[in-house]
Structure 1
Amino acid sequence: MPPGPFTRPAPSAQPASDVPSTSEGVDGCQGASTSTGPARAGSLEGTFAAILEGRRTKEQMAAALREMHRRGETAAEVEACVRAMLRRAVRLDPGYAVVDIGGTGGDRAGTFNISTVAALVVAACGVPVIKHGNRAVTGRCGSLDLLEALGVEIPPADRVVAQLDRYGFAVAATPLVHRFPAELNEVRRSLGFPSIFNLAGPIAHPAVELSGQIVGVGWLDALPAVTGALTRLGRTQVSVVHGAGTDEPTLTGPTLLYGRDGIRQITAGEYGLAQADTAALRGGAPAVNAAICRSVLTGEPGPRRDVVLLCAGLALWTAQVAPSVHEGIQRAAAAIDEGAARALLERLTTRQIRPLTPRGDPREGAALPRGDPPEGATAPRGDPSEGAVTPLSDGARSPQARQGSRSGVVMPWRGLLGGLVVPRRETRAARVPGRELGVVRASRQGFGGMGEVVPPSAAVGGVTGPGRAPLDGLRDTRCRLEIM
């Protein structure tokens, strides 16, 4: 394939004296590239482990990455790199599945951070997101650069789950969860082209359970290696995209989609979104991209909003939160238009946040459901199967909460999905006289996170209000809560 926007950037020439022989390039030993089978797989993983543990010189690292890039990385190599990365990573286990959107980078398209903005929108839809990302290596603004410019905290690895429980969105910084040796980072910056770590990075997500993931690939000829590696790893809830020379869905032309329905080509027009040229999606330095992010999340119309909706809609469909990409786009648009996306960003970037745990016994809380029955607070003490409902005005605090007792109040989330959760980890079903409510599987989501609405017969804890639709049979309705 001739060089162009759909092929990987070629490595720049290096003096022969600076590069070890290619026979040592991948494994650092003669003849390793000719073996096959399990021994070869083990050898490959060992090679990447040696690189990640700093047991190779910078010259050897550079030679290995150049050789793989020159001939094209294979699915077996990407798989081995992912496995080696995950063995060394800090694994994140919030007790429930999460979603992420990320790409290889390295496409040199200069677009703003579409996937990161879309990830914020997905979280605003009530779907827990751990954004796995890095600073710019081959571009101008990586996801961490953008989030830092917005004022979002980049937590250490041991605080990522707490951030997720609190906001429904968390940041897993590659340097903090994968701990690459400094020499490898220096080598990657010096190469001038994206390496196998660009391909493996998005796949090596540190979360223990992913319910959905978008992996963008920036150059067309790397798609077989990425999709092949995902197959070898047994990943199913993943969509791989390549958008007209970029590592994201695009409005500028067709987007190749490798998903659970097979391989297909999608366009913006299929979903009522206008086509746009690349210049309309261009970004810049972190401050520029932060301004773009704020404009999208506050509802500014145009191509930037549309491409974020397409990306977020694909993620919601991939995670089976939405039955179709079109429905996912509609939900993403509602999260922006109803203020949930802006409110999430405000909470993430506000340092003085009201505590999200009820006072007193953490097992006790209160629900302020919307609609019928009237808004009220539940103070479930006594009979473990029932709770008393006391009318309250929208936005009011429970008198019990003000007095520091064992109840709190759950506020509606700006009209997003209505109503919902008794925020405690050990919960029990509750009833309103004459009406049985649905139940939330709280897990560790109970404090400031999301709940999954299930029928009362499947109750395992947590209480929901009615929201905008009957609860019976709903399994994917999400909500947010804030304890006053």
Structure 2
Amino acid sequence: MNLNLIKEKIFNSKNISANETKFIFDLIMNGEISEVEAAGILIGLKTKSESKDEILGAAKSMREKSLKISSPENTIDTCGTGGDMSGTLNISTSAAIVAASAGAKVAKHGNRSISSRSGSADMLEKIGYKISADQSYLENSLSKNNFCFLFAQYHHSAMKHVINVRKQLGTRTIFNLLGPLTNPANTKKQLLGVFDSKWVRIHCEVLKDLGSNHALVVHGEDGLDEISLSAHTKIAELKDGLITEYVFNPQDYGYALIKNSDIQGKDPDYNAKTFMQMLEGLNKKFQHIVELNAGAALYLSQQSKSFKEGFKLARHVIETNITKQFVKKIIKN
């Protein structure tokens, strides 16, 4: 393939194929393209808006270059794109822990804070969880404890070639869309939140092309990259090879709406403390939005047959101290 011809397409606002995108991102991730060229490509893609095939090709490149672990068949991830600028507590990380305590196997992919004050890695460290890059440790933790945390910086070392470019650009690029699509455990089931509704269908189609067999891609109408408790949530569900789109209303399941200001996060210490307080029954509004997202994860992992059953199970493990004891277990190991 010809790099200059592909760049010319991008600069003329033409979409490129998945294969062309993979070719160009392989060069970027190998450090074979200058930072100026990489910046031009990223801005060109952003300006015209990234297509499904471009996201697919870039995700394939990142997956190939990641440090992988093996995982059981029903393993799930609850990683979102971030970037919703909502500043909430760590909802998806909390939901991952609750779901794991209820029997789901969760390979949580995440990073340090980028667009929020507390990323998943930051919060987990503050509750005492050991972040590791050791493959056997991670696989053993997932097998025995139902949970492991896959720290993006440990598993995607090729990203070092674009760190400076991304910092200098100071704006969202295609890389903000790729994180949830590149889980090193190659999970086939996923709860994936996106920061803009235009990516709901596209990300679901990309997951299908990447081999996922059951996924929920979600975007709250209030802007959250989670299943929201302050608004309806747009969902695209991949199941049995088909994608279905619908709108989720938490009030249909007996939940009262909250304000996002009720679940505002702060620094990692505060977010970790609030999570632990939730396990003591001290923050019901936060608990309820965690139930929604953990319940959806439990539905994906086949621990429940429906959203309703999943929400009930998530509430049960929180309110009977099962999750609290589970946290103590994963901190010790």
Same fold (TM over 0.5): yes
Q: In the alignment, does 2:140 pair up with 1:182?
A: no
| 1:216 and 1:240 in contact (8 A); partners too | yes
Give the superposition deviation at 1:335. 0.9
Structure 1 window deviating more from structure 2 (139-148 vs 158-167): it is: 158-167
* Superposed CA offset, 1:167-215 (max 9, x none): 22101111111213434123223333332122121011111443x2101
- Aligned partner of 2:67 in structure 1 is 90
- Give 1:286's match in structure 2, choosing from 264, 268, 273: 268
Superposition pairs for residues 336-351 of structure 1, below 5 Å?
Answer: 336-350=318-332
AA in 1 matched with 2:176: N
Q: Give CA deviations for 1:254-291 in whole Å, capped at 9, x if unaligned.
A: 01111147111112211111101110121111111111
The aligned residue for residue 225 of structure 2 is 247
1:242–1:249 CA contact under 8 A, matched in 2: yes
Deviations 1:81-101 (A, max 9, x none): 110011111221134431110
Is the Cα–Cα contact under 8 Å of residues 279 and 318 in structure 2 kept in the other structure?
Answer: yes
Q: How does 1:83-122 map to 2 (within 5 A)?
A: 83-122=60-99
Looking at structure 1, the residues matched to 152 and 286 of structure 2 have their Cα atoms a distance apart, in angstroms, of 26
Identity percentage over the alignment? 28
Q: Distance in 1 between matches of 2:236 and 2:192?
A: 10
Larger RCO (CA under 8 A, 6+ residues apart)? 2
Q: Which runs of 5+ in 2 are unaligned?
A: none
Question: CA separation of 1:25/1:198 partners in 2, compared to 1, >3 Å: closer, same or farther?
Answer: farther
Aligned CA distance change for structure 1 residues 104 and 95 (closer, same or farther; 3 Å): closer
> Which of 197, 207, 226 is the matching residue for 2:175?
197
Task: Please tell me whether the aligned partners of residues 129 and 164 of structure 1 are also in contact (alpha carbons under 8 angstroms).
Answer: yes
The root-mean-square deviation of aligned C-alpha atoms, in Å, is 2.4
SS in 2 for 1:294: helix
Larger helix proportion of the pair:
2
CA contact (8 A) 1:138 1:189 kept: no
Corresponding residue SS for 1:201: helix
- Measured in 2, the distance between the counterparts of 1:167 and 1:281 equals 28
Q: Tell me the secondary structure at the aligned position of residue 228 of structure 2.
A: coil
* CA separation of 1:32 and 1:298: change in aligned 2, threshold 3 A: same
For 1:193, what is the secondary structure of its paired residue? coil
Distance 1:167 1:234, change over 3 A: closer
State the shift of 1:165 in Å: 2.7
From the CA coordinates, give the structure whose radius of gyration is larger.
1
- Secondary structure (helix, strand or coil) at the match of 2:245 reads strand
Q: Say which SS state the counterpart of residue 180 (structure 1) adopts.
A: helix
Contact 2:42-2:173 at 8 Å conserved across structures:
yes
Q: Is the 8 A contact 1:54 1:181 kept in 2?
A: no
Structure 1 gap ranges (5+): 1-23, 354-484
User: What is the one-letter code of the residue matched to 1:204?
Assistant: T
The alpha-carbon distance between structure 1 residues 298 and 65, as it changes in their structure 2 partners (threshold 3 A), is: farther
Helix, strand or coil for the counterpart of 2:88?
coil
1:139-174 Cα distance to aligned partner (Å, 9 max, x none): 222111111122211111423112223322101111
User: What CA distance in whole angstroms lies between the structure 2 residues aligned with 1:26 and 1:251?
Assistant: 47
Quote how far apart the aligned CAs of 1:126 are. Answer: 1.3
Counterparts of 1:25 and 1:184, CA distance in 2: 20
Cα distance, 1:322–1:314 mapped onto 2, change above 3 Å: same
